[in-house]
Amino acid sequence: MAYRLLYLVFLTSFGCLSYSFTGSLPSHIKSVAIPLFEDNTAYPGVREDITNRVIDEFIADNTLNVTSESQADLIISGVITSITQRAAILSAGETVDEYQVYVNVKVKCEDIRSNKILWEKNLSQFGVMPGSGTQDERNQAIQIAIEKLTNDILNNTLGYW
Is the model's pLDDT at 15 over the cut of 80?
no
Question: How far does the chain reach from its first CA to its final CA, in angstroms?
Answer: 40
Type and span of the H or E element at 141? helix 135-158
pLDDT of residue 50: 98
Percent of the chain with pLDDT over 90: 71
Domains of the chain with CATH codes: 25-158 (3.30.160.150)
CA 11/CA 101 separation, integer angstroms: 48
CB 145 within 8 A of CB 115: no
Q: Which stretch of 31-40, 76-85, 132-141 has the lowest confidence by average pLDDT? A: 132-141
Is the model's pLDDT at 37 over the cut of 90?
yes
What's the whole-model pTM score? 0.81
pLDDT of residue 21: 46
User: Taking the CB of residue 108, how many other CB atoms lie within 10 A of it?
Assistant: 14
pLDDT of residue 23: 55
Q: Which stretch of 47-51, 70-74, 88-92, 106-110 has the lowest confidence by average pLDDT? A: 88-92
pLDDT of residue 114: 93
**Phi, psi angle pair for 69, to nearest 5°:** -60, -35
Type and span of the H or E element at 108? strand 95-111
